[in-house]
Chain A
Amino acid sequence: MEVTFKHVTLTYPNGSEVLHDMDFEIPSGQLIALLGPSGGGKSTTLNLISGLLQPTSGDVLFGRENVTKQDALQRGVGMVFQNYALYPHMTVLENIMFPMKMAKMPKAKRRQKAIDLAKLVRVESQISKKPAALSGGQQQRVAIARALAKEPNLLLLDEPLSNLDARLRVEMRQEIRRIQQETGVTTIFVTHDQSEAMHIADQIMVLNDGVIQQFAPAQTLYTDPTNQFVASFIGEPALNLIPAQTLADALPAVFGQAAKSVQTLGIRPEAFALQPTDDPFLQARVEVVQEQHFGREQQVQLRLNDQLLEVTDLGPVLALNRPLMTYIKLPYLYGFDERGKRIYPHFNEVPAYDE
């Protein structure tokens, strides 16, 4: 089921406008990640979709139907809360059966279905335990089973993995992906962890300060970010940001007309090479300040006209603190104007990338 927001804004009762004019369309059957820093408005957006919150203005559409005025009871989405919100006095099986009981499904049938769901999320051996007796990962899977129990057209997950250890997180995100693909339910997954978003989602919506920064597949966010926020938020290690004056002499040749309005440069850590490359490049004289190896990863700190840059995959470094000629590959270089908007590369001349 598609979910569409048309000019949705939300102001909380205390008067703070948290979402500003949100406009998006989520295609049916996809898994979408809602990614952004804390306080960006992710949970608020999710609650607007579920109907737990009503927008201050604008419309929410499910498919063609305008559901703006419907509350959570009528919208019938499935949702997994950040802290799972399992009913503590019920067993796992009763928790999973609860939505079906509310929907007045016959007892034998809902029992059978709950057992099937428990199998799907692999908690069938735990069904007679109370939630308090389960591990975080198991509770989370029970919460997913409960959310799936009423066969929603839409499944919402609010940071469902944030309480798990690193290994279980990886396991669970694959599990969620598997369940989503088996059931084909349109799923929206909130996270503030970019690698989680990248691994799980068909498309990622980056949200900051109540504004959608960009809504695109993971690869596009990385190679073609629309602004400084997305460029620096996505990517590990992070994009290097330096004032445009640092490369003032070289810029007009590269940016042409745009050179005057570029305020900040963004340079990906993998932009630097020791030899000229097939990509167009820009020459820069640097000094290597520090070099470290983590397994097969190389991390180098460079000084470029007083600016320190974190760089990876540079190649063999012979000496520290000596002038060294490097080649900055242009596809890994961005120019942003004073408001953080990307003006280089210009949007209709998206450069080709080596994948």
Chain B
Amino acid sequence: MKKTIKQVVVYGLLSLGAITMLLPFFWMISTAFKTGFESLQTPVTWWPKHLVWENWVNAWYAAPFLRYLINSVIVAAVTTVGQIFTAILAAFAFSKLNFAGKNLLFTILLATMMVPVEMLIIPNFVTLSQFHLINTYGALILPWLGSFFAVFTLRQSFNTIPDQLYYAARIDGASDWQFLWSVLVPNAKSSITAIGLLQVIGSWNSFMWPLIVTNSETMRTLPVGLQAFSTDSGINYPELMAASTFVILPMALLYICFNKYVVAGISNNGLKG
């Protein structure tokens, strides 16, 4: 009896949480079907009176979304691959190699995690503009090729792989490079996937940085492109919500396919991220 009550409470709370999380998505999709007038009406209507399908068509043609999509995909793909690559090398060095100043360097890098991302916007912007990279893929990609969060997470995962495997590989005639790619990386696959997914999602959703470093239509990414719906004459909420759905859809699918890795990636390193 006591057990059933406990279960009811637990599941009740979990359902409440799930509903709270899902409500904005439901609201987004429902608004995408409303007329402009209905979307602003009070009291709110949860379910649109008429399904306005044109919103979706108008939204797609309101801006060059295909271009934005291509940009978003390129930026997400390159930053993710680059970040994983640099993280693998750095995490290997911190986990398995001995070199002078290793702990000091690691501590310094760890301290950089305390610096809020917003603090870096101006210095990064200045640096990139001096390289004349503003409004290029370079500006969208370069700052994200190294992430200490990724290094840290991967180092944790490499640390769980016994040093004896490293010695065994040396004995078997493997260089550090060969050991890294033929032993360490295959054994840390799930962490690497998790880091990659977090970066794909982060890159896909990032707004501030692409907004600041791009100014031409052709360099925009999807989240920045959503601005097209906010004009001087107000915001067209139904079309904005329809477009937002396009933007979120690929990530939602990715998440559904790989959620096991995302959860593992976040819970493994003891950081909530």
Contact = CB atoms under 8 A, between A and B. Distances in A.
A78 B171 CA distance: 7
Contacts of A268: none
Interface stretch (A98-106, A273-281, A284-292, A322-330): A98-106
B66 interface: no
A150 B170 CA distance: 13
Contacts of B186: 89
B102 to A, nearest CB: 13
Contacts of A79: 168, 171
B170 A98 contact: no
A50 B187 contact: no
10 contacts: A50-B171, A52-B170, A71-B170, A72-B167, A76-B173, A81-B168, A85-B162, A87-B169, A87-B187, A147-B171
A102 B174 contact: yes
Given A85-B167, A87-B165, A98-B169, 14 more contacts: A52-B167, A72-B171, A76-B173, A77-B171, A79-B168, A79-B171, A83-B164, A85-B164, A86-B168, A87-B168, A89-B186, A99-B173, A102-B172, A102-B178
5 closest A-B pairs (Cβ-Cβ)? Answer: A102-B173, A85-B168, A99-B172, A85-B164, A72-B170
Interface in B84-100: none
Contacts of A87: 165, 168-169, 183, 187
Contacts of B171: 50, 52, 72, 77-79, 147
Interface of B: 162, 164-165, 167-175, 178, 182-183, 186-187
A268 B183 CA distance: 52
Contacts of A237: none
B170 A73 contact: yes
A141 interface: no
Nearest to B189: A89
A86 B178 CA distance: 16
Given A73-B175, A102-B178, A150-B173, A88 B168 contact: no
A82 B174 CA distance: 20
A342 interface: no
A6 to B, nearest CB: 23
A98 B172 contact: yes
Name the residue in B162, B169, B171, B178 with the highest tally of chain A Cβ atoms < 10 Å from its Cβ. Answer: B171
A110 interface: no
Nearest to A156: B171
Contacts of A99: 172-173
Contacts of A72: 167, 170-171
Contacts of A76: 173
Given A72-B167, A81-B168, A88 B187 contact: yes
Interface in A53-109: 71-73, 76-79, 81-83, 85-89, 98-99, 102-103
Given A88-B187, A89-B187, A103 B168 contact: no
A99 B186 CA distance: 17
A77 B171 CA distance: 7
A146 interface: yes
